[in-house]
Amino acid sequence: MTTVNINGVDTALDGPEDTTLLWAIRDIAGLTGTKFGCGAGLCGACTIHVDGVAVRSCQATVGEVAGKKVTTIEGLSADGDHPVQVAWRDINVPQCGFCQAGQIMQAASLLNENPNPSDQEILEGMEGNICRCGCYERITAAVKQASTGI
């Protein structure tokens, strides 16, 4: 059994240390906001933060994050008022919504690293997070708006 701090709570994850973090978060911790997309780290739907850095949870294992702080979409803001979440709502970013948790987590990590990115830096920072609906213009606009509130 491995203990991982998930969203500020030490959580015992019963299972092998080589279990992917995605499945441990969803199936053991019961936090289903993190989505399974491709399983190969290519789409970004499963993006979470490990010690504040965006990580594809389908590529990380429970053993790799032992003793680290993991943040999922549920833990980004207790009230859903993180500047990225507010901007997502203001601009009405989602169409189908499947990728949005990963998009939001990637955007929050980007803004932690670069609080005032240019449009090109937003595109580069969000690269690898795929939106099946093609909402990239709204995603870029939301990241830009959120940068003014961070």
Q: What is the CATH number of the domain that holds 105?
A: 1.10.150.120
SS3 113: helix
Q: How confident is the model at residue 15 (pLDDT cuts 50, 70, 90)?
A: confident
Domain region containing 134: 83-147
Last residue of a domain, one of 16, 46, 74: 74
Tens-digit pLDDT profile for residues 39-54:
999 999 999 999 999 9
> Do both 67 and 101 map to the same domain?
no
CA 137 from centre of chain: 19
In the chain, how many domains are there?
Answer: 2
Q: Is 20 left (phi over 0), alpha (psi -120 to 50) or beta?
A: beta
Mean pLDDT of 60-66: 96
pLDDT of residue 149: 79
Distance CA 127, CA 106 (A): 9
Supply the pTM of this predicted model. Answer: 0.95
Rounded-to-integer distance, Cα 33 and Cα 16, Å: 22
Pair 59, 6 in one domain: yes
Give the CATH number for residue 33.
Answer: 3.10.20.30
pLDDT per position as a tens digit, 87-140: 999 999 999 999 999 999 999 999 999 999 999 999 999 999 999 999 999 999
Q: What is the mean pLDDT of the chain?
A: 96
1-36: burial string, b at 16+ Cβ within 10 Å, e else: ebebbbbeeebebeeeeebbbbbbbbebbebebbbe
Of all residues in the chain, the percent with pLDDT exceeding 70 is: 99
Strands (E) in 7-136, as ranges, are 9-13, 47-50, 53-56, 69-71
